[in-house]
């Protein structure tokens, strides 16, 4: 039986259905579709035939009635009970909504009044009680066996390097200090202590399994580190005096963490001069500068000119 409707065309059946949906402004599910011609691409593009369908909107069932109309009471007043329940439920809903509205209003007032005085008390308690030591717990020092094992590892490594030396190890202020003495002190120290710092870094990795948490390792060859700190302190004071005179930023390159810390401590009480660490890695450069001034760096030897250096931020 042929479907009554409108004919639609397309390059194929799907294209024709799409045209029908677009033209009738509805979806494919709401259409009755009859395929009249499937179409043909032809041979080498010749004798093409378009697809043709006939589509019409589906008829909606006449029994579709809104639920409100189905539940309307009959005109005869002989059935009172089934149709009296909906109005009873409608009366209960506004009563339930009113109860929480009246209870919520007085509740936030006492809470806000109590929270204001409680905040400064908590801040005072937090500032007066040191939380960091409580979280870390008491310090547990290494055993004498662990300190002896560290000394043996240091001595073994120096012997394998071809620099056998006398090594002693003692615990001082949560730090295992290994003092090395012998005829290979200059070799183990290196230029500006680079070899010593690298050796200490390697030994820290090797002995981390022997030492408990918060215990450091320090390798001292002769009295190099003590002399190094004294020389560095004098150099910092000399550079700070230059910065105070001409305002030009000075730099100390290639300092390890302990040396940088010493530089900052020397200048921490100076109100005119400040210091800042810059760079990446273990060895960094420390800038000594006067805040509030924008002065160039001093010219480098053999360089192409001066570098512009603004006010660096503090550490």
- Residue 31: the pLDDT is 83
Beta bridge partners, 167, equal 180
Domains of the chain (ranges, CATH numbers) = 6-57 (no CATH), 144-222 (3.30.300.20), 230-289 (3.30.1370.50)
d(CA 243, CA 276): 14
- Residue 115: the pLDDT is 42
- Mean of the per-residue pLDDT values for the chain? 75
- Asked whether the beta carbons of 177 and 218 are under 8 A apart, the reply is yes
- pLDDT tens by residue, 83-94: 444 444 444 555
Which one has a higher pLDDT value, 305 or 204?
A: 204
| Long-range pairs of 220-223 with CB within 8 A, sequence gap ≥ 24 | 220/177, 220/178, 220/179, 220/180, 221/180, 221/181, 221/185, 221/188, 221/189, 221/196, 222/180, 222/181, 222/185, 222/189
Q: What percent of the chain has pLDDT over 90?
A: 32
Residue 157: pLDDT band with limits 50, 70, 90: very high
Q: What is the CA radius of gyration of the chain?
A: 44
Which one has a higher pLDDT value, 31 or 236?
A: 236
Is pLDDT above 80 for 213? yes
Which one has a higher pLDDT value, 33 or 150?
A: 150
Which one has a higher pLDDT value, 88 or 157?
A: 157
Is pLDDT above 80 for 97? no
**Its pTM surpasses 0.75:** no
**What is the arithmetic mean of pLDDT over 179-205?**
90
Q: How far apart are the first and last CA of the chain?
A: 90
- Residue 63: the pLDDT is 52
d(CA 167, CA 43): 97
Residue 244: pLDDT band with limits 50, 70, 90: very high
- Residue 75: the pLDDT is 53
- pLDDT tens by residue, 15-39: 888 888 888 888 888 888 888 888 7
Q: Is 139 helix (H, G, I), strand (E, B) or coil?
A: coil
Instruction: Look up tokens 């006067």; give the residue.
Output: 290
């Amino acid at each position: 039986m042929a479907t009554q409707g409108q004919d639609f065309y397309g390059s194929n059946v799907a294209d024709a259905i799409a045209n029908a949906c677009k033209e009738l402004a509805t979806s494919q599910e709401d259409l009755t579709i009859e395929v009249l011609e499937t179409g043909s691409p032809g041979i080498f593009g010749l004798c093409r035939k378009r697809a043709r369908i006939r589509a019409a909107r589906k008829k909606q069932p006449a029994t579709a009635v809104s639920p409100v109309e189905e539940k309307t009471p009959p005109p005869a007043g002989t059935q009172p009970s089934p149709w009296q329940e909906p109005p009873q439920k409608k009366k209960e809903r506004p009563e339930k909504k009113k109860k929480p509205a009246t209870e919520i209003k007085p509740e936030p007032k006492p809470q806000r009044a109590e929270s204001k005085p409680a905040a400064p008390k908590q801040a005072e308690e937090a500032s007066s009680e040191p939380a960091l030591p409580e979280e870390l717990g008491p310090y547990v020092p290494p055993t004498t066996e662990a300190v002896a094992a560290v000394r043996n590892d240091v001595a073994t490594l120096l012997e394998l390097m071809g620099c056998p030396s006398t090594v002693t190890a003692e615990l001082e202020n949560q730090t295992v200090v290994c003092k090395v003495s012998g005829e290979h002190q200059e070799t183990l120290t290196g230029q500006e202590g680079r070899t010593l710092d690298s050796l200490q870094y390697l030994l820290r990795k090797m002995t981390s399994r022997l030492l408990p948490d918060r215990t450091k390792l320090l390798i001292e060859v002769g009295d190099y580190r003590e002399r190094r700190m004294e020389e560095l302190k004098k150099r910092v004071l000399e550079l700070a005096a230059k910065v105070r005179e001409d305002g030009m930023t000075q730099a100390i390159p290639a300092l390890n963490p302990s040396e940088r810390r010493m530089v900052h401590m020397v200048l921490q009480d100076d109100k005119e001069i400040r210091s800042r660490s810059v760079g990446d890695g273990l060895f960094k450069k420390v800038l000594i500068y006067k805040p509030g001034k924008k002065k160039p760096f001093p010219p480098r030897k053999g360089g192409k000119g001066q570098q512009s250096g603004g006010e660096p931020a503090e550490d």
